[in-house]
Amino acid sequence: MALVDTKKMFEMAYKNGYAVGAFNVNNMEITQGIIAAVAEEKSPLILQISRGARSYASMSYLKAIIDVAVEENPDLPICMHLDHGDTFETCKQCVDDGFTSVMIDGSHHSFEDNIKITKQVVDYAHDHGVVVEAELGKLGGIEEDVVGVSHDEIMSHLTDPDEAVEFVEKTGVDSLAVAIGTSHGAYKFKSEPKLAFDVVEKIQAKIPGFPLVMHGSSSVPAEFKELINKYGGDMPDAVGVPESAISEAVKMAVCKVNIDTDLRMALTAKIRQVYAETPAEFDPRKYLGPGREAIKDMVKRKLHVLGCAGKAAECL
């Protein structure tokens, strides 16, 4: 089947208390690892492409890789999503390039300007049959060129539930990324975070049925951190969002959970291990292959944390 948008995915996720995993892709091996896991677990899938990924691999290559994945897995609902589009022009280009979902991130603007740019993107995207995600509130950390507030400021920049209602009504956006204490990157927190689930509950009560999104939700798995550090890395203070917290959020109004850092860590850990254990190795297939397998295993686990394993058929 062709690429799909997230309407049916989010409808079923909200109804049945799970979330769809949104995984960032940058190359063939990462995409293959994700797809292999999703195919085995029969899960719906959102493949995200950031501005950095488009600069690194070019849209034509990434689109071709995703097109092959869709063609080879006709029983899987797969959405191609723009992650953190920062301007109307970027979102428009991605709509024109065949994305089925785009995110406009106007969270760094004033509330009024965020509404204005989001509405502009929504009007264009909806006219072309594409759904739109927006962001309200400010996350912490750093992801590519997305710079959030400092760790100490995270809890003072949470999404305001009343503003969320007004924002959704005035923009017509299809889903909303909310700030509830999560953070981008691997160095998210100084200690295990306590997420503001009360914010999700209040928004859910005010806009029942409306899908919310969690950004900055990688868990920074200890096994990958230990492998990276064992084989020459330096990630002693990397702390992520506990998987138990993610499982709790997806039982509420959270229908999409973004995961990027964990993919990078899985790939890097295995590449470092191969380099260290077989230093004479120079065949990319011999280190990218294990990295791809590590991504597959990690994604399979995430699909169960999110509760979307086995849900592909109901999202078609």
pLDDT in tens, 208-235: 999 999 988 888 899 999 999 999 999 8
Q: Which value, in Å, is the radius of gyration of the alpha carbons in the chain?
A: 19
Q: For residue 149, what pLDDT is reported?
A: 41
Active site residue 262: no
Answer whether residue 189 shows pLDDT above 60: no
- How would you list the strands of the sheet with 140-143, edge to edge? 146-147, 140-143, 183-184
The verdict on pTM exceeding 0.75 is yes
What is the band of 148 on the pLDDT scale with cuts at 50, 70, 90?
Answer: very low
b/e 6-32 (16+ beta carbons within 10 angstroms → b) = bbebbebbbeeebbbbbbbbbbbbbbb
Q: How far apart are CA 22 and CA 297, in angstroms?
A: 16
- Please pick, among 5, 75, 83, 174, the residue that the annotation labels catalytic: 83
* CATH superfamily placement of domain 7-315: Aldolase class I (3.20.20.70)
pLDDT of residue 108: 87
Predicted confidence at residue 8, as pLDDT, reads: 98
Q: What is the pLDDT of residue 158?
A: 85
SS3 category, 278: coil
Tokens of 293: 């397998």
Q: Which two tokens stand for residue 262?
A: 């964990």
| pLDDT confidence tier of residue 237, bands split at 50, 70 and 90 | confident
pLDDT of 29 strictly over 60: yes
